[in-house]
């Protein structure tokens, strides 16, 4: 069976992290022995991910916690997000991708004390899922705002925006990177990278909660029902196998990192809301109902799962509680957030790990050079950015339709410019009104003086009183007509100036 020990970690609705080690019995069955439990989170645990000896977990409490699997201790916490953590995944051995309901995607470097190297912003709604291309140069993300973003990870900025008819629940690249999957409701849509067109759609009949690649063309799907189904997406999405796995909905499926003597055998672990973890043995050649090797009841509602090679002997223990032991190093300094835009974003390549080890002694010098050149790298000309997008397009063979793209930044700039013009016109109107008020005040003063003069004439000669009153009334009417004409001419001038300025944004 296995050539090495395997451990499984699950996150639960009851705010617990639970670890189980798989042990093989003499009869070939599997026994799951609990190795640790942790209750550091203050909300349900939504995401878990493991690389090397590091375990990270994300929760509804908006916090990402970091654990050391070798020492069974909590090393720190990340509070970069302001919303429920919706995605956690590692690319390579050092880069952690996180997403949240706050619409942000953050990228942390494990080798640099979990420093946030880049924050990808663009989505106007909660981010549902993120998937990094196997090359490490591109990433896809979907959101409740009914968009799918294609990110250029070389420069750390968005490359394309695709509008979707409805919000997607998740997105996932195939292991070879030749196609990707979009999950919406009960359907799985398969897209080819070379044409960016929909290849075919697979209807699971029930809402999908988890999808996992077993091979490059064989996927395992679980959802609101009790069954797990296998589909061949390379042959039109034909259902190859389906079996009843749990008593309630299937929440997670993962392929176990076991080395089998038979290349056609695959070991799967599945978790359900019924609280059970089950281990299955699947023969890819026969594709008959897999054999149940073992199970355990966690007594908790399972939400997420990950599997990894075990680093220690099985011992029933808990991670050191960070609230009792002063061992937590907060990695969410504001200074890191201020510096993130000044750091040149690196290409994600596994070969970078070797370079980082060689340059570790000169790390301070390299960081200073990056910070000095960071602003220059970020100020890329539009022509250069277009060339980079064309190179990416040629490399991945993607032909994107301009009608499906939305340049929200340009629209925002136009809106701001229009607002500035309107504010300038409002100021002109205010100045014009103030001038008219002064004229009116002067005219009123003159009118008052004329009234005083008429009163003196009235006292001087009672015989001319009627004629003076008549002349005074005619004078007032004439002043009102002149004022009305000046106002109308000014308004006409304002309206004509507005038309001229609005042509800029037509």
Span 390-436, pLDDT tens digits: 555 555 544 444 334 343 333 333 343 444 444 444 444 444 445 44
Highest-pLDDT range among 83-92, 258-267, 286-295: 83-92
**How many Cβ atoms sit within 10 Å of the Cβ of residue 422?**
13
pLDDT at 53 over 90: yes
Dihedral of alpha carbons 110, 116, 122, 124, sign: positive
CA–CA dist 60, 45 (Å, integer): 7
Pair 100, 126: CB distance under 8 Å: yes
Name the residue among 439, 426, 302 with its Cα closest to residue 14.
302
pLDDT at 55 over 80: yes
What does pTM read for this prediction?
0.66
Dihedral, CA of residue 257, residue 262, residue 263 and residue 267, to nearest 10: -40
Please write down the long-range contacts of 427-435, taking CB distance under 8 Å and 24 or more positions apart.
428/494, 428/497, 429/494, 432/490, 432/494
Residues 6+ apart with CB under 8 A from 97: 87, 88, 89, 90, 91, 105, 106, 107, 130, 132, 139
User: Which range, of 7-11, 371-375, 502-506, averages the lowest pLDDT?
Assistant: 502-506
Cα distances (Å, whole numbers) of residue 67 to 73, 305, 306, 321? 6, 15, 14, 10
Instruction: Give the SS3 label for residue 258.
Output: coil
pLDDT level of residue 302 (50, 70, 90 thresholds)? very high
More confidently predicted of 476 and 156: 156
pLDDT at 71 over 70: yes
CA–CA dist 289, 233 (Å, integer): 19
User: Which range, of 200-214, 308-322, 359-373, 491-505, averages the lowest pLDDT?
Assistant: 491-505
CA 264 to chain centre: 37
Rg of the chain (C-alpha set): 34
Q: Which two tokens stand for residue 269?
A: 């672990």
What's the average model confidence in pLDDT over 127-139? Answer: 96
Dihedral of alpha carbons 399, 401, 402, 407, sign: negative
What's the average model confidence in pLDDT over 330-336? Answer: 38
Q: What is the mean pLDDT of the chain?
A: 75
Pair 331, 63: CB distance under 8 Å: no
Q: Which two tokens stand for residue 106?
A: 């953050």
CA–CA dist 30, 277 (Å, integer): 12
Residues of the chain above pLDDT 90, percent: 52
Name the residue among 349, 246, 265, 350 with its Cα closest to residue 305.
246
Name the residue among 210, 208, 215 with its Cα closest to residue 252.
210
pLDDT at residue 193, rounded to an integer:
87
pLDDT at residue 236, rounded to an integer:
81
Cα distances (Å, whole numbers) of residue 489 to 255, 422, 425, 432, 499? 79, 20, 16, 12, 16
Cα distances (Å, whole numbers) of residue 388 to 152, 157, 251, 341, 352? 9, 11, 39, 20, 21
User: Which range, of 110-114, 303-307, 344-348, averages the lowest pLDDT?
Assistant: 344-348
- Is residue 390 within a helix (H) or strand (E), and if so which, with residue range? helix 382-396
């Amino acid at each position: 069976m296995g050539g090495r020990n395997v451990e499984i970690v699950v996150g639960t609705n009851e705010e617990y992290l639970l670890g189980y080690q798989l042990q093989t019995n003499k009869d070939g069955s599997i026994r799951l022995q609990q190795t640790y439990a942790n209750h550091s989170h203050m909300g349900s645990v939504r995401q878990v991910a493991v690389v090397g000896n590091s375990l990270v977990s994300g929760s509804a409490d908006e916090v990402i916690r970091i654990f050391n699997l070798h020492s069974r201790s909590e090393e720190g916490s990340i509070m970069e997000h302001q919303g429920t953590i919706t995605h956690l995944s590692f690319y390579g051995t050092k880069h952690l991708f996180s997403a949240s309901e706050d619409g942000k995607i953050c990228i942390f470097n494990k080798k640099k004390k979990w420093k946030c190297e880049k924050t990808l912003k663009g989505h106007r709604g909660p981010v549902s899922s993120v998937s990094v291309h196997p090359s490490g140069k591109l990433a896809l993300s979907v959101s409740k705002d009914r968009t799918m973003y294609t990110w250029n990870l070389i420069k750390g900025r968005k490359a394309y925006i695709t509008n979707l008819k409805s919000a997607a629940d998740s997105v996932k690249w195939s292991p070879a990177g030749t196609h990707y999957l979009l999950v919406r409701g009960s359907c799985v849509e398969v897209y080819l990278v070379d044409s960016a067109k929909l290849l075919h759609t697979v209807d699971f009949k029930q809402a999908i909660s988890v999808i996992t690649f077993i091979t490059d063309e064989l996927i395992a799907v679980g959802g609101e029902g009790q069954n797990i189904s296998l589909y061949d997406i390379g042959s039109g999405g034909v259902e190859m196998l389906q079996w009843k796995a749990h008593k309630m909905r299937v929440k997670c499926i993962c392929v176990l990192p076991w080395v089998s003597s038979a290349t056609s055998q695959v070991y799967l672990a599945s978790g359900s809301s019924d609280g059970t973890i089950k281990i299955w043995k699947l023969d890819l050649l026969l594709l008959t109902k897999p054999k149940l090797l073992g199970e355990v009841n966690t007594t908790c509602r399972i939400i997420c799962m990950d599997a990894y090679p075990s680093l220690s002997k099985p011992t029933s223990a808990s991670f050191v509680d960070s609230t009792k032991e002063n061992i937590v190093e907060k990695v969410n300094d504001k200074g890191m957030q201020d510096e993130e835009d000044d750091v040149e974003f690196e290409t994600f390549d596994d070969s970078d790990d070797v370079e980082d080890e060689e340059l570790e002694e000169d790390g301070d010098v390299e960081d200073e050079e990056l910070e000095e050149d960071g602003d220059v790298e970020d100020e890329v000309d539009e022509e250069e950015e277009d060339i980079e997008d064309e190179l990416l397009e040629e490399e991945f063979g993607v032909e994107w339709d301009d009608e499906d793209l939305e340049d929200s930044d340009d629209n925002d700039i136009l809106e701001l410019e229009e607002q500035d013009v309107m504010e300038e016109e409002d100021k002109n109107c205010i100045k014009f009104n103030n001038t008219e008020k002064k004229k009116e005040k002067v005219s009123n003063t003159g009118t008052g003086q004329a009234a005083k003069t008429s009163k003196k004439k009235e006292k001087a000669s009672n015989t001319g009183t009627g004629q003076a009153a008549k002349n005074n009334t005619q004078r007032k009417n004439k002043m009102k007509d002149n004022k009305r004409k000046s106002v109308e001419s000014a308004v006409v001038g304002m309206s004509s100036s507005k038309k001229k300025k609005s042509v800029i944004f037509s």
